[in-house]
Structure 1
Amino acid sequence: MPRFAANLSMLYPQHDFLDRFAAAAADGFEAVEYLFPYDFTAAEIKQRLVDNKLTQALFNAPPGDWAKGERGIASLPGREEEFRAGIQKALEYAAVLGNDRVHVMAGLLPSEDLREKHHAVYIENLRYAAQEAAKVGVTVLIEPINTRDMPGFFLNRQDQGQAVCKEVGEANLKVQFDFYHCQIVEGDVISKLRRDFAGVGHIQIAGVPDRHEPNLGEVNYPWIFEEIDRLGYTGWIGCEYRPKGDTSEGLQWLRDWKAANPA
């Protein structure tokens, strides 16, 4: 039975961040994820998790200067020390919040001519991150992101992500399978999931093409959820979409799914 986590960076935008935990719990979510926790202390967020009986599923390591357009620094030459410090900070938060998944964003590639150089940095940084995370039982995730939403992002395809994991060679480095990004870049999403399932560490969903609720658009998610079950996935499925209207009203897709698939 799929287990769904509310992505608090996108859902419940009418609430301040710390108030989104209660909103998610009120709608029946048992877990949450989000981009970054670092504007708050780990203790502040932990209290919201405890108060609302929520599990922390995932968050991202520090991405560099997000406000200035940086989208991760794992592949950026000259930022290695900052990257390592960010990994330590992420693991400190994870130790308090209890999640065993941390997503590391690759960053933007300024030019294809620089790919080889950035790739070498990426591999070494990911090896460091995975080795440090392994000491505390955490899995590091990398995510292919579509070029429409994030032009220039270093990693775009699921097979690229799997090849990177193989090159790094650490068992606790996995690929995040976001159906939204995969459908836009590659299509044939279930074949990709079946092919790479052993190397998938987290799943996320959103409707395509507008990134609204998963019942809106071209992807047949009810069938996909059944296939995820058949494959034996036991992790959380992150609801990382932008609500078309009110978040709670838009969750009718989830209420319908639960009614049709009682635990």
Structure 2
Amino acid sequence: MNRRNFIEKGALTGSFFALGGASALAQMQLSKDTDPTFNLNYAPHLGMFEASAGKDEVAQLEFMADKGFRSFEDNEMKGRSLETQKRMAAAMERLGMDMGVFVAHKIYWKEPNLASGKQEWRDEFLADIRSSVEVAKRVNAKWMTVVPGHVDLRLNKDYQTVNVIESLKQASAILEPHGLVMVLEPLNFRNHPGLFLAESPQAYQICKAVNSPSCKILFDIYHQQIQEGNLLPNIEACWDEIGYFQIGDNPGRNEPTTGEINYKNVFKYIHSRQFNGILGMEHGNSIDGVQGENRVIQAYRESDDFR
């Protein structure tokens, strides 16, 4: 049932008002018609539309759905309270929204946790993966982000690679029975110097070695424009191991149309490959306030208009 009709027919009653006053008020104030959805499945995050929707998490989700977005991602979901996780999950289900990635584990920005091969770091990582399974079930998520940490300057790169692959194989064995997928995110040298995983061919090699449906690539277009460029050929070369995309223009890491990336062409290519997954909007807004939030929506309308 269309959620507008659902509201108008008065079927919300107790469950509707259980969401809290702010959310109930936001529901009542929604316009009669939602905006059309996009060709691709873009996922905003909390804070992106806070000036328009307010601070309440559910009100922000409602605003996103009202503007035509079908998914949502939240790097911080694992750290949110149990009550908040359940409340947001219920709202996404009611709104027909899918949950995108959340960060699955503690990321080591300066220490070589997975690259080192040390058992205590591997055990910690695997414990984080197990606890993330429960979060994923709670919020109806399929994907979770994994970053293997810093390089180990005392080890040959090939030994480091073997260490990372072994940790990911063990993590995949935890995730596979639940149909969950960790997506490995290569990060660029400028924003995150010294990290083990930096380039898409490297991520592709690792996924092939792990050889599991639960280990795929998170291709962050912003990071890979800085790190290696050549976006479309690299996306094509990695295609069978890409599980998720993230978006940000360069320079600035803001919405499409603010930098050098021709996102209309990138989105057109991804759509031509019949990608039916999520593209996370992991970027800032180039303009503050409601004006900037409207500009983000318009930028996606322009970039998504590739037919």
Matching residue of 2:104 = 61
**1:100-115 matched pairs, under 5 angstroms:** 100-111=142-153, 113=155, 115=157
Amino acid at match of 1:25: A
Tell whether the 8 Å contact from 1:18 to 1:45 is kept in structure 2 after alignment. no
Partners of 1:131 and 1:43 in 2: CA distance: 29
Q: Deviations over 1:120-155 (max 9, x none)?
A: 331111001111111101112111110101111111
Contact 2:264/2:306 (8 A) holds in 1: no
- CA shift for structure 1 position 193: 0.8
Residues 111 and 149, structure 2, Cα contact 8 Å, conserved in 1: yes
Larger radius of gyration: 2
Give me the CA root mean square deviation. Answer: 2.5
Answer 1 or 2: higher relative contact order, Cα 8 Å, separation at least 6.
Answer: 1
Matched, 1:181 2:223: yes
Contact 1:206 1:240 in 2 (8 A): yes
Letter paired with 2:186: P
CA offsets 1:39-98 (integer angstroms, 9 cap, x no match): 223442232232252321111112257xxx568944353311111110011111001111
Q: Distance in 1 between matches of 2:154 and 2:45?
A: 32
Asked if structure 1 preserves the Cα contact closer than 8 Å seen for 2:89 and 2:138, the reply is: no
User: Which of 45, 48, 67 is the equivalent residue of 1:11?
Assistant: 48
Deviation at 1:237, TM superposition (A): 0.8
Q: Which moved more, 1:102-111 or 1:145-154?
A: 102-111
Counterpart selection for 2:274 from 232, 235, 240: 232
Change (3 A) 1:193 1:90: same
Q: How does 1:28-177 map to 2 (within 5 A)?
A: 28-52=68-92, 53=95, 54-64=97-107, 69=109, 73-76=113-116, 77=118, 78-111=120-153, 113=155, 115-177=157-219
Letter in 2 for 1:48: M
Map of 1:253 onto structure 2 = 299
Instruction: Supply the AA of the counterpart residue of 2:227.
Output: V
Q: Give yes or no for contact 1:5–1:57 (8 Å, CA) kept in 2.
A: yes
Shift of 1:250: 2.7
SS in structure 2 of the partner of residue 177 of structure 1: strand
State whether residues 36 and 61 of structure 1, in contact with CA within 8 Å, keep that contact through their aligned partners in structure 2: no
CA contact (8 A) 1:84 1:129 kept: yes
Deviation at 1:173, TM superposition (A): 1.3
| Cα distance, 1:72–1:241 mapped onto 2, change above 3 Å | farther
Give the deviation of 1:111 after TM superposition. 2.1
User: Which one has a larger percent strand, Structure 1 or Structure 2?
Assistant: 1
Q: Which moved more, 1:132-141 or 1:116-125?
A: 116-125
Q: Name the CA distance, whole Å, in 1 between partners of 2:187 and 2:63.
A: 28
User: TM-score normalized by structure 2?
Assistant: 0.75
In structure 2, what residue type is equivalent to 1:166? K
Q: How many residues are matched?
A: 257
Deviation (angstroms), 1:113: 4.0
Preserved CA contact (<8 Å) 2:144 2:183: yes
By how many angstroms is 1:5 displaced?
0.6
* Cα deviation 1:180-201 (Å, max 9, x = unaligned): 1111111110011111111111
> Structure 1: 5+ residue runs without aligned partners?
none
**3-state DSSP class of the match of 1:201?**
strand
Range with greater deviation from structure 2 (100-109 or 50-59): 50-59
Distance verdict in 2 for CA 1:120–1:40, change over 3 Å: same
Determine the C-alpha separation between the residues in 2 that align with 1:223 and 1:232.
15
Provide the C-alpha distance between the structure 1 equivalents of 2:281 and 2:68, rounded to a whole number of angstroms. Answer: 13
Q: Structure 1 segments of 4 or more deviating over 4 A? A: 12-17, 69-73
Residues 72 and 224 of structure 1: CA distance in aligned 2, closer, same or farther (over 3 Å): farther
